[in-house]
């Protein structure tokens, strides 16, 4: 899948190599007022990375497929909508990064939401346009709707609560399906993390104390509701290489606990930043699964 981000991790690695602990904490501390040099650096970095990424995709990914006139497709019924959840997740996380780095620069809240939280929607729209000129894919309005939903989830919570009470998270486990169609579902762990929808789960992770104030419960405790799918070798039951592939496709719904790492108190800005990065991943916990084929199932630990 083409919709992933890595520049936050690179930023932290570079900073770690260049600063002492005290200087690092000072560097990572958000500015109370507009810091023009920080803001300009953020804008230039994002514009450069976005442009290079799109140019790279155009040359390294799309060049392998035939070009076409701009066209649209309707793929809303594929992969049990797991690909759409991927779009929601990517738009949400990119938007959160965009808003966070503008907050770090001291940009006012309104501009954080207008120019930062829309980063994911803007970038993914550009990718969608590239899809529209590829004969292999096409511009998908359902993808655009998913992108808008991810952006709206972030902005809506900031406007309503001035915080992210409900986080959008991701988890993955390897499945038997990737080895059956490695060209589509990935060959090896790293590819499967991005391509094998059978092993992906997307979670809405709600912080309990944000909704129900209680001194008895830890402030980092979350309740998570997950969605996944299994039994998919193709986007839908279809003919591949002149053979009809019969699949036991099933939707999966999960209930579990989770940890909001941003609620763990620490005086270290570095740890806060690292917690923010890893807060995109659902913490493994026991989970209750319901699917439309086998009913209820308890997982003693679920990834």
128: tokens are: 């969608």
pLDDT band at 23 (very low <50, low <70, confident <90, very high): confident
pLDDT at residue 142 in the model: 97
Question: What is the SS3 assignment for 230?
Answer: strand
**Residues facing 174 on adjacent strands:** none
171: tokens are: 């988890």
The answer to whether residue 8 scores a pLDDT higher than 50 is no
Nearest to 294 by CA among 255, 247, 252, 264: 252
- pTM of the complete model: 0.90
pLDDT per residue over 245-299, tens digit each? 667 889 999 999 999 999 999 888 888 989 999 999 999 999 999 987 778 999 9
- What does residue 270 show for φ and ψ, rounded to 5 degrees? -65, -50
Mean pLDDT calculated for residue range 58-80: 90
pLDDT at residue 159 in the model: 97
Strand order in the sheet with 295-302: 166-172, 200-207, 221-230, 250-259, 285-291, 295-302
Question: What is the SS3 assignment for 33?
Answer: coil
Name residue, tokens 């990424």: 53
pLDDT at residue 63 in the model: 82
Strands (DSSP E) along 208-264, which ranges?
221-230, 239-240, 243-244, 250-259
Name residue, tokens 């997740």: 89
- Work out the number of other CB atoms within 10 angstroms of the CB of residue 21: 11
Mean pLDDT calculated for residue range 113-123: 96
User: Any idea where the domains of the chain sit in the sequence?
Assistant: 1-164, 165-303
pLDDT per residue over 135-171, tens digit each? 989 999 999 999 999 999 999 999 999 999 999 999 9
pLDDT at residue 152 in the model: 98
Q: 208 versus 1: which is more confidently predicted?
A: 208
Say what percent of the chain tops pLDDT 90: 71
């Amino acid at each position: 899948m083409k919709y992933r981000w890595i520049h936050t991790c690179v930023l932290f690695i570079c900073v770690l190599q260049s600063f002492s602990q005290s200087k690092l904490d000072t560097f990572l501390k958000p500015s109370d007022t507009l810091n023009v040099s920080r803001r300009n650096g953020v804008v230039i970095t994002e514009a450069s990375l976005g442009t290079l990424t799109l140019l790279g995709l155009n040359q390294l990914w799309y060049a392998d497929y035939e070009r076409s006139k701009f066209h649209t497709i309707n793929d809303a019924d594929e992969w049990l909508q797991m690909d759409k959840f991927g779009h929601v997740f990517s738009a949400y996380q990119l938007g959160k990064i965009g808003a966070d780095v503008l907050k770090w620069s001291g940009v006012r809240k309104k501009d954080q939401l207008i120019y930062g939280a829309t980063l994911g929607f803007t970038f993914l729209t550009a990718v969608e346009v590239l899809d529209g000129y590829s004969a292999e894919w096409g511009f998908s309005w359902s993808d655009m709707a998913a992108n808008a939903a991810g952006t709206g989830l972030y902005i809506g919570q900031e406007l309503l609560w001035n915080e992210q009470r409900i986080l959008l998270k991701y988890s993955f486990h390897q499945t038997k399906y990737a080895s059956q169609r490695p060209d589509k579902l990935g060959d090896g762990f790293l590819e499967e993390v991005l391509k094998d929808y059978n092993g992906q789960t997307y979670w809405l992770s709600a912080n309990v104390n944000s909704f129900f104030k209680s001194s008895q419960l830890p402030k980092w405790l979350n309740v998570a509701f997950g969605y996944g799918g299994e039994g998919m070798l193709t986007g839908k039951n279809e003919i591949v290489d002149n053979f009809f592939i019969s699949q036991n496709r099933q939707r999966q719904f999960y209930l579990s606990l989770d940890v909001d790492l941003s609620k763990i108190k620490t005086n270290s800005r570095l740890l806060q930043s690292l917690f923010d990065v890893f807060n995109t991943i659902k913490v493994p916990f026991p989970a209750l699964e319901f699917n439309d084929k086998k009913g209820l199932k308890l997982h003693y630990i679920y990834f």
